[in-house]
Amino acid sequence: MSYNRYKNTQKRKNYLLIHNKEKYDRVSIILPKGTKEKIKRLDI
């Protein structure tokens, strides 16, 4: 179960990197610093 979870998080990470990189760059500028860290922690 933990392995599947790991695979899913990796897929999600790759998806975010490919599709939402520009969005995340924009968001990180607008949002305060703490929120970007929270987003990163969710992806781990």
* pLDDT at site 4: 76
* pLDDT at site 37: 62
CA distance 25 to 20: 8
How is residue 41 written in tokens?
């922690």
pTM: 0.29
CB 5 within 8 A of CB 44: no
- Name the DSSP letter for residue 8: H
Give the chain's residues under pLDDT 50.
Answer: 44
One-letter amino acid of 29? I
One-letter amino acid of 30? I
Spatial CB neighbours of 31, under 8 Å, sequence gap ≥ 6: none
> In 3-state terms, what secondary structure has residue 32?
coil
How many domains does the chain fold into? 1
Q: What is the extent of the structural domain holding 14?
A: 2-43
